[in-house]
Amino acid sequence: MKITIAENAGFCYGVMRAISMADEYIKKKGSIYSFGPIIHNPQVVADYEHKGMHVIESIGDANKPVLIRSHGVPSDVYMKMQSKNIKYIDATCPFVKEAQDYVKHLSEEGYSVVIIGDKHHPEVKAHISYADSKAVVINSVDDAKKVNMERIGVISQTTQSVDRFSKIVGELSKHCKELKVYNTICDATKNRQDAASSLAKVSDVMIVIGGRNSANTRRLYEICKHYCDKTYHIETAKEIDNSWFTNAESIGITAGASTPSYIIERVFNYIKEL
């Protein structure tokens, strides 16, 4: 049995940056709040709860400094923190910030802003807030068919699938007079998706590790499933069912941007021992 871990599996630049900012602060001051879970990985969030980072869901609950996670926050959160004199450490990923700037810019130029992504995801909720008038969020070619606007300005959730993004943009071009597109899918996402799909094509079984609430992990699962029918999404090695590997000769492993390397290693070692 050959077991291969895909290139670029695990923590991305933005997540590592947020984690090291949190570590540095906790080391110096002992504890901090995180506005929403620092990353979409329940195991890491539980570890940090012990270390001294407590999750709050409302900025009104903060009576000590707050870490803004890599997904970013809506613009009014900054205003609330300033008006309440709440100190914050901004760990918004620079690529997310860049997408927010594009939304602002498109909106100021008079484009109707269309965001390709999941409207329930915190990153997308934050993007919406940077448009002057309400931005439209779509996530499929069918959604794009319903759009009808003169001048459309498009950005993407940073973890969107490249393939889906291109198809949706292609469809949008049929429903407007002018289309301006910023491809804001980050390189880490693109590289991870490319490596995962190449590995899925040559694997009998694919294991995708990451939080069930992690958008980029779910996207990886969809991509791998397309090429390898026996693709399974797990959070930890405990969820592995040994029967998945019956008659399998090649096993591929990949992991979302918020999956720490120790969880990937445990999964690898578990399968190796089978």
Q: Which residues in this chain contact ligand F3S in the complex, by CB under 6 A?
A: 12-15, 70, 93, 95-96, 158-159, 186, 188-189, 216, 257
* Structure token pair of residue 201: 């094509």
Residue 186 has which token pair? 């980050």
CB atoms within 10 A of CB 158: 29
Of the pair 42, 270, the CB lying nearest ligand F3S is at: 42
Candidate list 123, 235, 239, 249, residue with the active-site label: 123
User: Closest distance between ligand F3S and the C-beta of residue 51, in Å?
Assistant: 20
Residue where the block lists tokens 């606007």: 149
Q: Is 265 one of the annotated active-site residues of the chain?
A: no
Q: Taking the complex as a whole, how short is the minimal distance between the CB of residue 185 and ligand F3S, in angstroms?
A: 8
Beta carbon of residue 44, minimum distance to ligand F3S (angstroms, whole number): 14
Nearer CB in complex with ligand F3S: 97/230: 97
For every residue of 236-257, DSSP letters joined together read SGGG--GGGGTT--EEEEEE-T
Min dist CB 162 to ligand F3S, Å, is 13
Sign of CA dihedral 210, 163, 97, 110: negative
Q: Residue 256: what are its φ and ψ, rounded to 5°?
A: -70, 170
Query: What does the alpha-carbon distance between residue 100 and residue 253 come to, in Å, rounded to a whole number?
Result: 32
Q: Which residue, 121 or 244, has its beta carbon nearer to ligand F3S?
A: 121
Q: How far apart are CA 166 and CA 253, in angstroms?
A: 26
Q: Which residues are catalytic?
A: 123
